[in-house]
Structure 1
Amino acid sequence: MSRLRTRPTRDDTREALFEAAARVFEQDGIGGASIEAIAAEAGFTRGAFYSNFKSKDELIFAMLEDHVERSIRRNMEILAQHRNLDDFIAALKTMDRARQDPLARSPLLHIEMILFVARAEKRRPELAKRLRARRKLIADIVEATLRDSAKGETLNPPWMASVVLALEDGFRLHRLIDPETTPADSFLRAITDLRRRTGLATD
């Protein structure tokens, strides 16, 4: 009886390359990482790499896109179950980090990849698209959880999303620099405090 061979799907191959690239980038740096090293780390050949990505730059863009898509999917799944902002934040705090993608697990690598791409001016529009997608996600969450709850104040979800996103990125950077005084839940704690102090009740 012949043994049935199961070939990895395209999605499986891409995910393996993402994970391998993250490890190689962290070890060798983004600039020093070679396609050969990434493919070998994933257990593939150069041909397998090039059947999925034309270059290392394209791989990086795909990793950033995957990170944004996963973030949107995770948050919308939580929002579907928790329409109250306090409950939503509590669910984020207990979210299984092991299910997240390499960039969510390694904020330093995430920032390094963004800076690597941003150094080339022609690449910035691609980063802007991802930034707008993150803002829209937060604006949708703000609108869904705080609708008609601002006690007479007119909510501006897009602007609030920009503020929240800047706050999140700032805390991520502060935690990398000074983790002793910047707990892992600093961002979510700050959102909770701001909501309560500004009177944005969710009852």
Structure 2
Amino acid sequence: MTRLTRAEAKARTRERLLDAAARVFAQKGLAGASVDEIAEAAGYSIGAVYSNFGGKEQLFVELLQERANDRVNRAAEIIAEAEPAEANGALGRLLVEVADKDADFAPLQAEFWLYAVRNPELMETYAERMREPRRLLTDLVARSVPDAERAGELSSIVIALFQGLVRMRRVDPDSVPDELFGRALRWLFTGAEADEEQP
């Protein structure tokens, strides 16, 4: 049996805590979840939570950032691997996968948004953590939209569109057909291109 290095063991502990936290937060909400429950669900002591994350709120914010980064990185892989004509359809399938298979994603997003709005002192922390996935997406958009300001605006719209459609599909799958996100992206970017060409 291969023995893990200290860094590998720490990374594994962190990953297990994040996975457990996603389940517990999605079921009980940020306010209702306890550090004890998260640690127990991951198979660790409370000390593991505090030594890796400092506390429940920091764990939650890092969980959201990691999940958002994962989505953007997956989108980048799809765009790199798919033929240009097939990329929007592949991105649509990513939305379907998140909405239908990652049952924790939409509740986690909604939960922390509500918590941050009700606790304004956390708003900047939340905003700061979510700037990284937005920056990654902006870099991705900038490959086809060279204007940096416009790429940033489009990335904000894509994030809002993705989150909104995931929530709608979780509640009413028929209202968000499999191909809708891909079509909406095509409409968005076609419209942005046409707007840029206006005199």
- TM-score (normalizing by structure 2): 0.74
Report the aligned-residue RMSD: 3.5
Report the Cα distance in structure 2 between the residues aligned to 1:6 and 1:141, rounded to whole angstroms.
35
Q: Distance in 1 between matches of 2:135 and 2:103?
A: 19
Match of 1:191 in 2: 185
TM-fit CA distance, 1:196: 5.2
How far has the Cα of 1:6 moved from its partner?
5.1
After superposition, the C-alpha distances for 1:47-100 in whole angstroms (9 at most, x for unaligned) are 22222122111111111221233233323333444583x33323334559889x
Q: AA paired with 1:164?
A: V
Q: C-alpha displacement at 1:182, in angstroms?
A: 2.4
Q: How many residues align?
A: 189
Tell me the SS of whatever aligns to 1:183. coil
Q: CA deviation at 1:127?
A: 2.0
Distance 1:76 1:107 in 2: 21
Larger radius of gyration: 1
SS in 2 for 1:160: helix
Residue pair 1:72, 1:134 contacting (<8 A) in 2 also: yes
Are residue 156 (structure 1) and residue 160 (structure 2) matched? Answer: no
- Matched position secondary structure for 2:144: helix
Q: Residues of 2 paired with 1:32 and 1:160: CA distance?
A: 35
Write out the 4+ residue segments of structure 1 that deviate beyond 6 Å after TM superposition: 96-99, 197-200
Q: Does the alignment pair 1:45 with 2:62?
A: no
Per the alignment, residue 178 of structure 1 pairs with 172
- Per the TM alignment, residue 39 of structure 1 is displaced from its structure 2 partner at its CA by 0.8
Q: Which has the higher helix share?
A: 2
Which residue of structure 1 aligns with residue 60 of structure 2? Answer: 60
1:102-150 CA distance string (max 9 Å, x none):
97853222221232233221211122224433433333233213559xx
Q: Which residue number corresponds to residue 106 of structure 1? A: 105
Q: Secondary structure at the match of 1:60?
A: helix
Contact 2:64 2:108 in 1 (8 A): no
Distance 1:107 1:146, change over 3 A: same
Partner of residue 92, structure 1: 91
Partner residue of 1:169 out of 134, 156, 163: 163
Matched residue type, 1:54: G
TM-score for both structures, normalised by structure 1: 0.72
* CA–CA separation in structure 1 for the residues paired with 2:48 and 2:140: 39
Where does the alignment leave 5 or more consecutive residues of structure 2 unmatched? 195-199
Distance 1:104 1:81, change over 3 A: farther
Aligned mates of 1:40, 1:137 — CA distance in 2: 33
% identical equivalent positions:
32
CA contact (8 A) 2:24 2:38 kept: yes
